[in-house]
């Protein structure tokens, strides 16, 4: 009997057998259908359905072909025509510093100063004795309809009988007399870091306005009431949920006040309870005494205190869930140029930059450890690159990934130098929130090309846009995306020249595919394509058709990480895991939410 006849006979025999149970038929774990899918996959740029298996995308297509992959155990979700995009990858954000998230009044996105002051007044009545009323970054005076800062008198009226701190980025803060007395301003109890200025009136009395740089506000953070361990874990759960609310699926932790490993214990608690709902690769910086080496302290931390290495993931089930990446974003405190747009650029001594970078980065290159360095101004980028080029000749980087963080005023020449050395640039959206202040300090013409978005994108250099949230800027990535597309700051001022703006497609890629390079996940993240991580967001409004001025109001109605729904709103809310009861009971987040309109 021929092989062909045998094959035909086998088909006839099988046709007569009872059908196998549907539960035995292979099928998807999850199918989302009836969606407008932006895949960012050139060979298949659009689709309407996606199938997930074991945390990965395994099929993308139209509804009919993807629904054919279901079995009785497949979870089916109707997207009802919503736009579905790859989940947003946040390549520079400070999540761990939000272990006190639940203690803070968030002014992010609040449209008027009058409402912001009302929030303080309401919270002051709830805050118990022994605690402070706090607003710690994420807002800008230019977002308010009034287009100004609050006055000390307004703040004192809103919070009459509790210590308060209202902090604007890492630029300035307002404290009342109760707060200044408690921390010992003007006494040896409070040691002011260099560059700190407490404003005085004509009578020599402190007004409560303090101006400074990053280390000023880090010092203030250490002297206010701190949360318990349980409150830290709870705070991080809510902070991460608010990232999920905007479609963020991966957040590259970029250094915390309490470093690795101690500062990561709350995250380890979330992992243990299976409640870490975002991929959290991390870089680490070790704060040390003046004169000590931050790089030496980092090497000690990852070789002696809690051994780890680049790419080591301690999350047992989530790929890149808690994965050590690199040393950064500060390699040496003396080289930190801060980016306070209300003051002239901090220019680092060139010889100090050269000597320190060659010495410190050399130790990392020898270990083949990636590195990331905060450098905002081109005056400092140039000597930094001088040092790297010199080091690369003696100790070849040989494909080692590294990046400059922020790079607001980078020149075309230095873009090419970074590219030649194999580096990347993680930009941020501070100009969206603080660009009006930048204009006052540096001039409008400079601002219109800060940063050089068009040249950066066209150069082909590895490039991401980030928020640098939650203090220096808001953690809402859609504010950044609107700024890149419209060229306007939160005040509505033109802040980017027309020839320095991006298309919607280009802006989205900087938060997805572009950002994935910085965590070495560009081959598995940023696309809706087979083999990619099953991380995506279903948007509240169609990003590609909503009016430009409304992009910043986009949220996610459903965010999926690792093939599981981690955030849901409206009809999708019951699909998401329930958050723990918020603590403390007087938490501002309980009453206001994290971002304006969240409650």
Predicted pLDDT at 187: 87
SS3 content of the chain, % helix, strand, coil (to 5): 35, 20, 45
Report how many domains make up the chain.
3
Q: Are residues 243 and 323 in the same domain?
A: yes
Domain contains 505: yes
56 occurs within a structural domain: yes
Any bridge partners for residue 403, and if so which?
372, 424
Same-domain status, 162 and 264: no
Within a domain: 533: yes
Q: Using the 3D structure, point to which of 224, 253, 275 is the last residue of a domain.
A: 224
Q: Give the pLDDT band (50/70/90) at residue 289.
A: confident
Which stretches of 61-213 are DSSP H helices?
63-67, 113-126, 152-158, 177-183
Q: Do 473 and 347 belong to one domain?
A: yes
Q: Which pLDDT tens digit goes with each residue over 564-573?
A: 999 999 999 9
Of the listed ranges 142-146, 188-192, 396-400, 482-486, the least confidently predicted one is: 188-192
Does residue 244 register a pLDDT over 80? yes
191 with 241, same domain: the answer is no
Indicate the residue among 46, 80, 114 that finishes a domain: 80
> Within a domain: residue 583?
no
What's the CATH number where 568 sits? 3.20.20.140
Q: What is the CATH number of the domain that holds 74?
A: 2.30.40.10
pLDDT for 21: 53
Average pLDDT, the chain: 94
| Domain limit, last residue, from 224, 243, 263 | 224
Phi, psi of 197 (to 5 degrees): -130, 115
* Mean pLDDT value across residues 541-566: 98
User: For the segment 124-140, what is each residue's pLDDT rounded down to a tens digit?
Assistant: 999 999 999 999 999 99
Q: 448 and 384, same structural domain?
A: yes
Task: Judge if 188 and 119 occupy the same domain.
Answer: yes
Can you give the CATH number for the domain in which 120 is found?
A: 3.10.310.70
At 104 the pLDDT is: 98
Per DSSP bridges, beta strands 46-47 and 36-38 are antiparallel
Write down the pLDDT at residue 46.
Answer: 96
pLDDT of residue 222: 86
Q: What is the pLDDT of residues 188-236, one digit of tens each?
A: 888 888 889 999 999 999 999 999 999 899 989 888 999 999 999 999 9
Among 267, 260, 256, 355, which Cα is nearest to 310's?
Answer: 260
pLDDT bracket for residue 363 (50, 70, 90): very high
* Residue 404 dihedral angles phi and psi, to the nearest 5°: -100, 135
Q: Both 403 and 317 in a single domain?
A: yes
Residue 12 lies in a domain: no
Is residue 535 a part of any domain in this protein? yes
Q: Indicate if 211 and 337 belong to the same structural domain.
A: no
Check whether residue 59 and residue 141 sit in a common domain.
Answer: no
Which position has the token pair 């590895």?
A: 462
Alpha helical stretches, state H, 378-468: 378-394, 412-420, 430-442, 444-447, 453-459
Q: Is-contact 361 395, C-beta < 8 A?
A: no
User: 354 is in which domain, residue-wise?
Assistant: 227-573
Does 318 lie in the same domain as 178?
A: no
Residues 449 and 360 reside in one and the same domain: yes
- The answer to the question of residue 444 being in a domain is yes
Q: Look at residue 23 in the predicted model and tell me its pLDDT.
A: 58
Residue 438 covered by a domain: yes
Q: Does residue 377 sit in the same domain as residue 419?
A: yes
């Amino acid at each position: 009997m021929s092989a062909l006849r045998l094959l035909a006979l086998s088909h006839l025999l099988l046709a007569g057998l009872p059908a196998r149970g549907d539960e035995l038929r292979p099928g998807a774990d999850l199918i989302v259908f009836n969606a407008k899918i932006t895949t960012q996959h050139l060979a298949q740029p659009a689709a309407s359905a996606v199938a997930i298996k074991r945390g990965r995308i395994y099929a993308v297509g139209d509804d009919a072909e993807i629904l054919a992959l279901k079995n009785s155990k497949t979870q089916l979700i109707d997207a009802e025509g919503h736009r579905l995009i790859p989940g947003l990858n946040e390549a520079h954000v400070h999540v761990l510093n939000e272990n006190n998230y639940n203690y803070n009044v968030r002014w992010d996105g609040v449209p008027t100063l009058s409402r912001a002051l009302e929030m303080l007044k309401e919270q002051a009545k709830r805050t118990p004795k022994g605690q402070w009323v706090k607003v710690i970054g994420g807002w800008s005076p230019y977002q308010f309809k009034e287009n100004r800062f609050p006055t000390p008198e307004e703040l004192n009226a809103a919070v009459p009988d509790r210590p308060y701190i209202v902090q604007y980025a890492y630029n300035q803060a307002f404290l009342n007399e109760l707060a200044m007395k408690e921390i010992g301003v003007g006494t040896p109890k409070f040691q002011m870091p260099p560059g700190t200025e407490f404003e005085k009136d004509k009578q020599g009395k402190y007004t409560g306005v303090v101006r400074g740089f990053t280390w000023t506000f880090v010092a203030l953070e250490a002297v206010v009431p701190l949360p318990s361990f349980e409150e830290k874990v709870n705070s991080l759960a809510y902070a991460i949920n608010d990232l999920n609310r905007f479609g963020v699926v991966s957040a590259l932790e970029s250094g915390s006040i309490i470093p690795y490993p101690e500062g990561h214990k709350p995250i380890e608690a979330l992992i243990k309870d299976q409640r870490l709902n975002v991929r959290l690769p991390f870089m680490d910086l070790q704060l040390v005494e003046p004169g000590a080496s931050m790089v030496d302290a980092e090497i000690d931390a990852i070789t002696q205190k809690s051994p780890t290495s680049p790419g080591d993931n301690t999350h047992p089930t989530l790929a890149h869930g808690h994965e050590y990446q690199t040393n950064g974003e500060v390699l040496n405190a003396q080289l930190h140029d801060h980016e306070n747009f209300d003051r002239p650029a901090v220019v680092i001594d060139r010889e100090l930059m050269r000597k320190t970078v060659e010495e410190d980065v050399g130790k990392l290159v020898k270990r083949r450890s990636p590195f990331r360095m905060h450098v905002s101004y081109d005056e400092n980028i140039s000597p930094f690159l001088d040092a790297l080029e010199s080091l690369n000749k003696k100790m070849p980087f040989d494909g080692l990934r590294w990046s400059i963080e922020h790079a607001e005023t980078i020149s075309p020449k230095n873009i090419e130098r970074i590219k030649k050395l194999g580096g990347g640039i993680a930009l941020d959206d501070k100009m969206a929130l603080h660009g009006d202040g930048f204009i006052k300090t540096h001039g409008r013409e400079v601002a219109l090309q800060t940063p050089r978005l068009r040249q950066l994108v066209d150069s082909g250099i590895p490039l991401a846009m980030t928020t640098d949230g939650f203090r220096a800027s808001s953690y809402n990535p859609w504010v950044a995306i609107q700024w890149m597309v419209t060229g306007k700051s939160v005040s509505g001022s033109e802040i980017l020249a027309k020839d320095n703006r991006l298309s919607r497609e280009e802006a989205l890629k900087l938060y997805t595919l572009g950002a994935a390079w910085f965590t070495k996940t560009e081959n598995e993240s940023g696309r809706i394509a087979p083999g990619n991580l099953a991380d995506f967001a279903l948007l509240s409004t169609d990003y590609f058709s909503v009016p430009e001025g409304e992009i910043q109001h986009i949220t996610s109605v459903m965010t999926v990480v690792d093939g599981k729904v981690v955030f849901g709103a409206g009809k999708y809310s019951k699909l998401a895991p329930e958050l723990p009861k918020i603590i403390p009971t007087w938490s501002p987040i309980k009453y206001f939410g994290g971002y304006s309109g969240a409650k």
